[in-house]
Amino acid sequence: MRLLVLSLLLLLLIATPLRAQDWSTEEVFARYKEAVVQVRIIDERGGEKSSLGSGFFISDAGEIISNYHVVADLVEHPGQYRAEYVLDDGSSGELTLLDVDVVHDLSLLQAKDVRRPFLAIESNLPAKGERLYAFGNPYDLGMTIIEGTYNGLLEKSLYERIHFSGSINPGMSGGPTVDRNGNVIGINVATAGNQVSFLIPAGFLLNLLEAGSGSEQDLHERIGGQLYANQQRYLEELTAQPLVTARLGDFEIPGKLGNYINCSSHSDQSSDRLVDTVAYSCYTDENIYLSDQLNTGAIRMEHTLHSTDALGQLRFWALMENNFSRFYGGFGGDEDSMSDFACQTEAVDRGDLPLKVVLCVRAYRQYPGLFDLVQRQITLNRPREALTSTLVLTGVSIDHGLRFAQAVLESVKWTP
């Protein structure tokens, strides 16, 4: 009798299908690989691929999701490139770009006359430590699955990202990262190496789908609107209350303004220095990708306290003037996408703290109403001591940019 019971139990175990939590990585790959594609951007003149990424089907109507940075050439250079998908069986076809969310690096594409299995979107985030699976085409080596873990949202991020402990490599951008049930938790976007990778939360994908598709003709207008709304959001939040400040010598300066801003300091310790310098920098780590030459949506502040006992007043201020006159460069972009910087210099008298202020702006040609802004200022109240400050804002409107620049200027105080 006991042997009969054991035999029946064994038969039941064999007959019971595996639950999702019991699936191996091999089984997860087999179940969902048909919904994942390679996205190729083809140079029309040369006829060969220019760049590669990944994507995945989200409907039986042939809609595919990928990253914006994978398909950006279609927007930046219309007519020079085209997009195509490659399925897991090697077949391929044409892709049409329907819509983008440039702030969250997402694109919506359409494959014609294709019906494939598609993936469900999950906006709720899993528990920390839950096993996830990233799909994509790294280095054009073929379809790959990467097993890793969910490690929460990044705490210091202006643009919300999931921390995924797994190796997302070039070519996997735009591919899905799913849970054991095949629900898309995030979209592959970037890596810092050493098993530290980042995903776009799938909730932003739902926002893109709910917004409705735009036409190719108005994509620049839609991108411009997204960039404008984004900078309005974070700059209005920053200027809604007095800026958080820090101390640098006898000066009060704008400091760590939000949890997404990193700050660091460094002092010159060289033995042959004639001027002592202490630098304090605050910056956002993330930018919004527009093209290979241009990123936007960044904040950077640099404050440097200069003082000397070795130099006289004339030599010290000659050195300060030489350093201050150097323009802060390295912004990227070309003459087709950006205007030249236009600068204005002004003396600002704040009683016990006179300042020299230089304000420079340049315009985005394809996105009217958006600018890069640089504000440099130097204190003039001490014979052999000066504080120089540089503020950099990229992709801002004039009114929001100037309001924030004014708040930064007014936050610099001499408090001996």
pLDDT tens per residue, range 135-188: 999 999 999 999 999 999 998 888 899 999 999 999 999 999 999 999 999 999
Tallying the residues shown for the chain, one arrives at 416
CB 395 within 8 A of CB 227: yes
Considering the chain, what percentage of its residues have pLDDT values greater than 70? 93
Question: Of 172 and 49, which is predicted with more confidence?
Answer: 172
Nearest-Å Rg of the Cα atoms of the chain is 27
Query: What are the tokens at 42?
Result: 């083809």
Task: Flag whether the pTM goes above 0.85.
Answer: yes
CATH class of 224-414: alpha beta
Range with lowest mean pLDDT among 269-273, 274-278, 316-320, 364-368: 269-273
pLDDT score, position 330: 75
Query: What are the tokens at 4?
Result: 């009969």
User: Is residue 20 very low, low, confident or very high in pLDDT (cuts 50, 70, 90)?
Assistant: low
Average pLDDT over every residue of 254-265: 93
User: Is residue 46 very low, low, confident or very high in pLDDT (cuts 50, 70, 90)?
Assistant: confident
Question: Of 80 and 269, which is predicted with more confidence?
Answer: 80
| Residue corresponding to tokens 């306290």 | 305
E strand intervals along 162-298 = 162-165, 176-178, 183-193, 196-201, 245-248, 251-254, 261-267, 276-284, 288-291, 294-296
pLDDT score, position 157: 85
Among 103, 17, 75, CA closest to 292? 75
Predicted confidence (pLDDT) at residue 12 exceeds the cutoff of 80: no
Range with lowest mean pLDDT among 9-18, 35-44, 383-392: 9-18
Task: Report how far residue 364's alpha carbon sits from residue 370's, in angstroms, rounded to the nearest whole number.
Answer: 6
- The CATH 3.40.1000 portion of the chain extends over 224-414
Average pLDDT over every residue of 399-406: 98
Predicted confidence (pLDDT) at residue 18 exceeds the cutoff of 60: no
**Average model confidence (pLDDT) for the chain?**
91
Range with lowest mean pLDDT among 213-227, 324-338, 395-409: 213-227
Q: Are strands 183-193 and 120-121 parallel, antiparallel or unpaired?
A: parallel
pLDDT score, position 212: 67
User: Is residue 286 very low, low, confident or very high in pLDDT (cuts 50, 70, 90)?
Assistant: confident
User: Is residue 49 very low, low, confident or very high in pLDDT (cuts 50, 70, 90)?
Assistant: confident
Considering the chain, what percentage of its residues have pLDDT values greater than 90? 79
pLDDT score, position 113: 85
Predicted confidence (pLDDT) at residue 118 exceeds the cutoff of 80: yes
One-letter amino acid of 111: A
CB 380 within 8 A of CB 282: no
Range with lowest mean pLDDT among 3-17, 133-147, 325-339: 3-17
pLDDT score, position 53: 97
Task: Report how far residue 227's alpha carbon sits from residue 348's, in angstroms, rounded to the nearest whole number.
Answer: 32
pLDDT score, position 218: 82
User: Is residue 331 very low, low, confident or very high in pLDDT (cuts 50, 70, 90)?
Assistant: confident
User: Is residue 15 very low, low, confident or very high in pLDDT (cuts 50, 70, 90)?
Assistant: very low
Per CATH, the number for 19-214 is 2.40.10.120
Query: What are the tokens at 288?
Result: 């919004």
Average pLDDT over every residue of 22-44: 93
User: Is residue 10 very low, low, confident or very high in pLDDT (cuts 50, 70, 90)?
Assistant: very low
CA-based torsion, 239, 241, 245, 250: positive or negative: positive
Helices (H), 133-218: 202-211
| 15 phi, psi to nearest 5 deg | -80, -20
User: Is residue 363 very low, low, confident or very high in pLDDT (cuts 50, 70, 90)?
Assistant: very high
- The CATH 2.40.10.120 portion of the chain extends over 19-214
Predicted confidence (pLDDT) at residue 32 exceeds the cutoff of 80: yes
Average pLDDT over every residue of 46-65: 93
Burial class (CB in 10 A: 0-12, 13-18, 19+), 415: exposed
Predicted confidence (pLDDT) at residue 13 exceeds the cutoff of 70: no
